């Protein structure tokens, strides 16, 4: 635990931490829009089959209205609206007769939209769905594409977790910002949907590294008593990002323009990231005390503690960090998370919880169109609720245990998703309220998880563990959109699955310890010390209870 003392000597939470948090807040604000911008880029506009009489200006009969031509060309679907995926082989003129009934056209031959579709461009001037025809027989390509995007996240967390352990947090952050900028900007030149998916895969692969390293750098440069507040502030950027996405999408209705607006800032973030110093914790763990000392002195100078330059020497650092330096000589891998009993339980349970949270979260936020409301307003409301919910986490984390908060709000999120299943489609306002409240519960859950997982694992394995948990979560993110395909069999089945999974995840948390008020563990031995201290505390409590019974 000695690093916390060294950090206090370097100024604790000073000007450096404020500048670092501001820089990372700027970068983090653009992460959520990157994750969910397919809500708008891949929005499905209203559509129908292309019909020669209606859509070829030279062949449109002048004595009939467009409504009449539509009636004789397109059959009605189950909801008594023009079918979106079929058309009559031949015009059914008998439908225009005054005494026409359903029998006049119900047996008429129909065919798929062999000549393509006509799209309603009143809401979006361009989307990838309209550009590449991801409707009707090809409609399942859309959730599959979202699954590919999340697969990039999944593999990214596995890869960057290990790479950041070997090469450090700072170089990985800079490289990933550049990768996101190049890959995502290139999607506007994609000639087809499959190239687009490949570029989005590379983009989200890099975005995983941005998310991991920014969070870890903030946590590892923050003193124990300020971790809750700092992570909460960092989490509030998600709400800001969601609100900004709703506003930008409202202004930029073309998918290429919106994509550029959200992607080009990462070129600037690539340049900005170079001023951030490497994590001194990581440098110590990797056996580089001289570089760690240099970075700590730089931080102390920025924080106005210039006297530390004389008092903080190599000998002081080496003597106070003996355990950490010895730990840094040990090479760790993801398998080490399952070799030590105390880590095995934490890794297994948190992996399941991460999977449950993300599969339900992305099942909700990537399916706004199904709510049938103003998609721009709903996205903005999601952002407002996310911001308000994460803002309250500072106070909630002071009075409630991390485990209690995650379990309670994850279970409530599941119940709100289930509520959307039970509410009839006609009650749109109530369904929107349930969806927004569910989003708020997920916001509290996700913010608390960031704090909780950083306190569950020691410094040498923190990034490796984060890579494992994020990968488990992104596996849920991959699965979440694919579950929506089951809607074609049972319309309400996806929401029921999301709800049950969220509630199940909340129960798994009961097997984990609480970490509120404990300093960040720097070694595996620190975890054992915490476990033994908790066990002694429980025994003492049991003895006191037994002795006072009489």
Identify whether the C-beta of residue 470 lies closer than 8 Å to the C-beta of residue 151: no
Q: Report d(CA 346, CA 352) in Å as an integer.
A: 10
Report the distance separating Cα 353 and Cα 507, nearest Å.
9
What tokens does 233 get? 């502030």
| CA dihedral angle for residue 61, residue 64, residue 66, residue 67, rounded to 10 degrees | -150
| Strands 117-119, 110-112: pairing kind | unpaired
CA–CA gap between residue 505 and residue 354 (Å, rounded):
8
Q: Which pLDDT score, from 0 to 100, does residue 269 have?
A: 93
Which residues lie below 8 Å from residue 504, measured CB to CB, with a gap of 6+? 356
**pLDDT tens-digit profile, the chain (550 residues):** 466 677 777 666 778 878 888 888 899 899 989 988 888 998 888 888 888 877 776 665 666 777 888 888 888 877 778 888 888 888 777 777 766 655 556 667 888 888 889 998 888 999 999 999 888 888 888 888 888 888 888 888 778 878 887 888 889 999 999 999 999 999 999 999 999 999 999 999 999 899 888 888 888 777 777 777 787 788 788 889 989 999 999 999 999 999 999 999 999 999 988 888 888 778 877 778 788 788 888 877 787 777 666 667 777 776 666 665 565 556 667 777 888 777 888 889 999 999 999 998 888 887 776 776 688 888 898 889 888 888 887 788 888 888 889 999 999 999 998 888 788 877 888 888 888 898 889 988 988 888 888 888 887 788 788 778 877 887 888 888 788 888 777 878 888 899 999 999 999 988 888 877 777 777 777 777 766 766 665 444 433 333 334 3
Residues in the chain: 550
Q: What pLDDT is attached to residue 100?
A: 60
Residues 6+ apart with CB under 8 A from 379: 39, 40, 242, 245, 246, 249, 368
Q: Give backbone dihedrals phi and psi of 423, rounded to 5 degrees, phi first.
A: -80, 130
Helix ranges, 457-523 (H) = 459-483, 493-508
What are 87's strand-pairing partners?
A: 111
Question: What's the confidence (pLDDT) of residue 352?
Answer: 93
Which of helix, strand or coil describes residue 101? coil
Read out DSSP for 239-254? HHHHHHHHHHHHH--B
Dihedral angle sign, alpha carbons of residues 462, 525, 322, 16 = positive
Helices marked H in 252-367 — which ranges?
Answer: 255-263, 265-272, 280-285, 289-302, 308-311, 314-320, 322-328, 336-339, 341-365
Q: Alpha carbon 207 to chain centroid distance?
A: 10
Eight-state DSSP code of residue 130: H
Q: How far apart, in whole angstroms, are the C-alpha atoms of residue 199 and residue 263?
A: 12
pLDDT at 104: 55
Distance in angstroms (rounded) separating the CA atoms of residues 413 and 386:
13
Run of H or E including 112: strand 110-112
Rounded Cα distance, 365 and 413, in Å: 12
Indicate the SS3 state at residue 366: coil
Give the integer Cα–Cα distance in Å for 285 and 462.
Answer: 11
Q: Which of 362, 354, 297, 370 is nearest to 471 (CA)?
A: 354
CA distance 366 to 370: 10
Cα 458-462-463 angle, rounded to 5 deg = 160
Q: Which of 289, 239, 518 is nearest to 401 (CA)?
A: 518
Cβ-based neighbours of 470, under 8 Å, separated by 6 or more = 153, 157, 161, 208, 211, 212, 354
CA distance 343 to 173: 27
Farthest CA pair distance, the chain? 100
Whether 205 contacts 153, CB under 8 Å: yes
Q: Please, where are the H alpha helices in 115-192? A: 128-132, 141-167, 169-186
Write down the residue that tokens 């730990």 correspond to.
327
Per-position b or e across 505-526, b if 16+ CB within 10 A of its CB: bbebbeebbebbebbbbbbbeb
CA atoms within 13 A on the CB side of 454: 26
Q: Which residues pair with 279 in a beta bridge?
A: none
Q: Helix 289-302 and helix 15-28: axis angle, to 10°?
A: 100
- The CB density around residue 425, as the number of other CB atoms within 10 Å, is 10
SS3 110: strand
Residue ranges of domains in the chain: 2-44+133-527, 47-119
Residues 319, 431: Cα–Cα separation, whole Å = 60
Q: How far apart (Å, rounded) are the C-alpha atoms in residues 169 and 182?
A: 20
Q: If 0-12 CB within 10 Å is exposed, 13-18 middle and 19+ buried, where does residue 489 land? A: exposed
Neighbouring C-beta atoms of residue 427, cutoff 10 Å: 11
pLDDT of residue 309: 67
Fold of the domain spanning 2-44+133-527: Growth Hormone; Chain: A; (1.20.1250)
């Amino acid at each position: 635990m000695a690093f916390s003392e060294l950090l206090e000597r370097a100024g604790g939470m000073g000007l450096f931490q404020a500048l670092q948090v501001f820089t990372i807040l700027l970068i983090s604000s653009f992460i959520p829009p990157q994750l969910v911008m397919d809500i708008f880029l891949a929005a499905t506009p209203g559509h129908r089959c292309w019909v020669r009489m209606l859509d070829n200006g030279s062949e449109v009969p002048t004595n009939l209205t467009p409504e009449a031509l539509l009636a004789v060309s397109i059959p009605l679907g189950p909801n008594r609206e023009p079918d979106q995926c079929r058309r009559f082989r031949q015009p059914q003129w008998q439908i225009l007769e005054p005494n026409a009934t359903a029998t006049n056209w119900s047996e008429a031959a129909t065919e798929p939209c062999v000549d393509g579709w006509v799209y309603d461009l009143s809401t979006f001037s361009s989307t990838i769905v309209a550009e590449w025809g991801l409707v009707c027989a090809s409609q399942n390509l859309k959730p599959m594409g979202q699954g590919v995007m999340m697969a990039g996240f999944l593999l990214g967390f596995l890869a960057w977790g290990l790479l950041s352990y070997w090469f450090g947090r700072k170089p990985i952050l800079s490289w990933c910002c550049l990768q996101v900028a190049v890959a995502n900007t290139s999607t506007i030149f994609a000639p087809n949907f499959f190239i687009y998916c490949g570029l989005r895969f590379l983009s989200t692969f890099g975005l995983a590294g941005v998310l991991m390293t920014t969070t870890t750098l903030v946590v590892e440069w923050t003193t124990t008593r300020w971790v809750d507040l700092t992570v909460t502030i960092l989490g509030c950027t998600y709400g800001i990002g969601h609100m900004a996405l709703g506003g930008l999408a409202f202004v930029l209705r073309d998918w290429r323009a919106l994509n550029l607006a959200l992607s080009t800032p990462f070129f600037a973030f690539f340049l900005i990231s170079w001023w951030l110093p490497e994590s001194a914790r990581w440098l110590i763990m990797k056996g580089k005390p001289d570089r760690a000392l240099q970075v700590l002195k730089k931080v102390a100078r920025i924080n106005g503690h210039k006297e530390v330059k004389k008092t903080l020497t190599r000998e002081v650092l080496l003597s106070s960090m003996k355990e950490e330096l010895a730990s840094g000589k040990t090479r760790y891998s993801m398998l080490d998370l399952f070799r030590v009993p105390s880590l095995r339980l934490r890794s297994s349970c948190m992996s399941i919880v991460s999977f449950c949270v993300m599969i339900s979260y992305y099942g909700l936020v990537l399916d706004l169109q199904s709510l049938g409301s103003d998609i721009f307003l709903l996205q903005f409301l999601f952002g407002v609720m996310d911001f308000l919910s994460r803002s309250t986490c500072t106070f909630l984390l002071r009075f409630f245990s991390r485990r209690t908060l995650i379990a309670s709000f994850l279970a409530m999120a599941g119940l709100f998703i289930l509520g959307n299943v039970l509410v009839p489609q006609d009650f749109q306002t109530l369904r929107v309220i349930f969806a927004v409240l569910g989003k708020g519960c997920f916001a509290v859950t996700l913010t608390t998880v960031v704090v909780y997982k950083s306190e569950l694992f020691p410094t040498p394995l923190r990034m490796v563990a984060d890579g494992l948990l994020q990968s488990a979560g992104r596996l849920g993110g991959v699965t979440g959109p694919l579950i929506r395909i089951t809607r074609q069999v049972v319309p309400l089945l996806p929401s029921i699955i999301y709800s049950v999974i969220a509630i199940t995840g909340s129960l798994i948390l009961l097997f984990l310890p609480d970490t509120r008020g404990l300093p960040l563990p720097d070694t595996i031995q620190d975890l054992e010390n915490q476990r033994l201290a908790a066990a002694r505390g429980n025994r003492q409590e049991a003895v006191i209870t037994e002795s006072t019974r009489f």
